Structure 1
Amino acid sequence: MKYLIRIIVMSLILTIFSVLNLSIQSNVAANQLTFSVEPILPSNQVDSKVGFFNIKLNQGQSQDLVLKYTNNTKKTITVSANVASAKTNTNGVVDYNDSKIKNDVSLKYDLSNLVEIPKAVVLDAGQSKNVSVHVKMPNEAFRGIIAGGLTFNDSAKDKQNQSSKSSGLSIKNIYSFQIGLLMRQTTSSAYTDAQIQDNGLKLNQVTAGQQNYRNVVYANLQNPLSVYVNQMVVNAQITRRGSSAVLYSAIKGGMQMAPNTNFDFPITLGNGVKMKPGNYHLKLVAYSLNDNKGLFKTNIINDKIQSFKYRWVFEKNFTISGQESRQYNKSDVTIKKNNGLLWILLCAIILLLVALLLLILLLKRRRDDQEVDIEEEVRDLNNELTTIIRTVTMKEYKKLIKSGKRVRIIEDK
């Protein structure tokens, strides 16, 4: 019987998950992009095999690029557009979206100041339309790449997705479309290998923090040059200052940094590990650009030896304060929290019980020492029963009763 009940329960659970899965898939299918945007690559395109703009312009030169907008629905839509310089996020991934990440101090030219694009384009049902995007190269000589992207959204559809609710599930998906835009004045190498090796990567501050409500230490890495840092691998280790024992470490490969950007590389402490205040030391080694002839070899990724063209080694001391550790430990979702109020309540109850027990013992003792007048039957010299009156303590009275004596209290003192 128990086995049959177990089968029925499991079947119900599987059915529920199947329904949820179908519901989610239906919503995803219904929320596909309502439009497409295709770049019409110009004659000054550096690489015609890619699906984004990568153009060469002389200093001060302007150009109108062309985008083909297409409405994939049977109703009128409005496609909005934004321009942003490329950033690097905490996953070591280049972000071409209209990101909230701040510009790096080394960024000289923000792409949003060099590009003019219609903020909104109205498309009738099934309509395709060519839209001009005006770009302008700075008036001074510039080496390297000005990198960024164009982001497109169907604002009405996004608003609908944010507010839609189905079967108790709230679907809040914003579907956007990005096209990269790279601008340069020359296709030759912007920097020598020596310049990249000396200045291609910097380590800024090292700080305590949190990622997804989990304790981490952030090592801020900066690319101050106007070129990409490609095929990037980082190996970071943290020790107590003056000790060689590794407390925390992180290894990650397959990363990329956009030109003139920085990002916080996270070194996780581990689930359930409390952050402790103190003085620490970070050693971080970064590699870039796979090259069979590269001088720098490492096997930290999958124990497979790889050769890289560039390597940077950084060491830095940092401190975690008591206030920081308490703050982050409190909000780390993997750390079991001690309920302070519960402990206070429990201690109060224990103290109350102890006080009550002591009070009972004290009252009992006082009662035992209390004197009373009793009548007691005793035999005289002639062996005849006679009654006498005398004063005893309650403790003595109880002993008399227990021994079988015939006594009674006639007056409490």
Structure 2
Amino acid sequence: MKLLNKFFVCIILLTGIGAFTSITSEAAEFNFAVTPQIPDNQLDKSKTYFDLQLSADQQQELTVNLRNDTDQEVVVEAQISSATTNSNGVVEYSKNEIKPDPSLVFDLKDYVEAPSELLLPPHSESPYKLTIHMPNEAFKGIIAGGITFQEKIREDQTSSSTNTTGLAIKNEYSYVVALLMRQETDNGIPDLKLVKAGADQVNARTLIYGNLQNPNPVYLNQLATHMTVKAKGKDEVVYENRQTGMQMAPNSNFNLGLPLNGERLSPGKYVLKIDAYGQKDENSAFIFVDSDGKEEHYQYNWQLEKEFEVKADEARKLNEGDVTVKKDFTWLYILIGLLLLLLIVLVIWYRKKHAKK
């Protein structure tokens, strides 16, 4: 399900992974610049993020140049995070609230030593140095994550960000440089599991979700899905949705959503089926048909299925909280009709009683 994001994303690096800049205020401006220094063991030196091949137990120092072109000193905060997958099927390399997947064995932050902040004097450039350490065991896969650089907000900046209406505007903006570590160039193949299914609500809109997990330490690229929901024991498809262009980080999970688009959710037992495809390959036999009827060939295919139940009180709460569901006022119309009917009967009875007198 595509959610409405209230921030702009300025891409520094594309191709699904890499460094990017996120701006969460229209008025935000960067007071510092970031330039990764690519080492010799970079797999593809044309990339401006770190994608390194190391041997087991190898340590290496990396450098990111930070530049301050302003007239004031800037304090840059840095944080290391493992890569995750958000609810839009997009890989995130910055700090977030997504919990690590249970299959994650090597969390990137446990294998990186780096200062938490760096002071940049006015009109200066300073190296930010970090030490990475490959686990001391044979590992076939990718340890993926990123380094988030964000300016530390001073107290005077916070107080001056209140506008004339008294509304506090918090400007937050950051650079994120992806950091990938691997021992081999052949990192295996991805996998896909349907861990859980159910009904939920996001942005006051009800959806059916399937929690998808990639338990392997490798990216699942170009993920496409066809979701269908049937009542248990029935052949009729109740809800259906197709999505393309998603990606999953190594050892991550996310809730793939099927929006109900204003339809009321009925209580009962359901069966969710997900026909999933990964990595486009014109020479492969697996064919996915998108919502426009276009056919694409994919290298991987998974047929996933999970039963779930929606209880009556859960369905009622979801329907009441969904802003797109048309409210059912049938009971109110019936009540008004009964009251009118009762009023008519009373009027007739009263007039007949007084007519006899």
TM-score by length of 2: 0.84
In the alignment, which residue of structure 2 is the partner of 1:296?
286
In the alignment, which residue of structure 2 is the partner of 1:86?
83
Q: Deviations over 1:115-163 (max 9, x none)?
A: 1221111111121101111111111221100000111111217974995
Q: Which amino acid aligns with 1:121?
A: L
Classify the secondary structure of the residue corresponding to 1:46.
coil
Q: Which amino acid aligns with 2:273?
A: K
Measure, in 2, the Cα distance between the counterparts of 1:176 and 1:73.
17
In the alignment, which residue of structure 2 is the partner of 1:111?
108
Matched, 1:287 2:277: yes
TM-score by length of 1: 0.73
Q: Which amino acid aligns with 1:322?
A: A
Indicate which of 308, 315, 321 corresponds to 1:325: 315
Matched, 1:315 2:313: no
Matched, 1:59 2:50: no
Measure, in 1, the Cα distance between the counterparts of 2:305 and 2:311.
20
Q: Quick check: which one's helix share is greater?
A: 1
Q: Which has the larger radius of gyration?
A: 1
In the alignment, which residue of structure 2 is the partner of 1:215?
206
Pair 296,338 (structure 1): closer, same or farther in 2 beyond 3 Å: closer
Indicate which of 218, 221, 229 corresponds to 1:238: 229
Measure, in 1, the Cα distance between the counterparts of 2:110 and 2:90.
23
Matched, 1:49 2:46: yes
Q: Check the 8 A contact 2:91/2:247 in 1, yes or no.
A: yes
Classify the secondary structure of the residue corresponding to 2:153.
helix
Measure, in 1, the Cα distance between the counterparts of 2:132 and 2:159.
33
Shift of 1:170: 6.0
- Counterparts of residues 9-408 of structure 1 (less than 5 Å): 28=26, 30-156=27-153, 160=158, 163-165=161-163, 171-187=169-185, 189-191=186-188, 196=189, 200-270=191-261, 272-337=262-327, 350=339, 354=343, 361=350, 365=353, 395=357
Q: Check the 8 A contact 1:233/1:287 in 2, yes or no.
A: yes
Shift of 1:40: 0.4
- Structure 1 gaps of 5+ residues are 1-26, 370-394, 396-413
Pair 145,161 (structure 1): closer, same or farther in 2 beyond 3 Å: farther
Quote the sequence identity (%).
38
Provide the aligned length of Structure 1 versus Structure 2.
Answer: 331
Measure, in 1, the Cα distance between the counterparts of 2:57 and 2:160.
42
Shift of 1:172: 4.2
Pair 170,248 (structure 1): closer, same or farther in 2 beyond 3 Å: farther
Measure, in 1, the Cα distance between the counterparts of 2:310 and 2:36.
49
Measure, in 1, the Cα distance between the counterparts of 2:55 and 2:159.
43
Shift of 1:343: 5.4
Measure, in 2, the Cα distance between the counterparts of 1:231 and 1:335.
32
- Structure 2 gaps of 5+ residues are 1-24
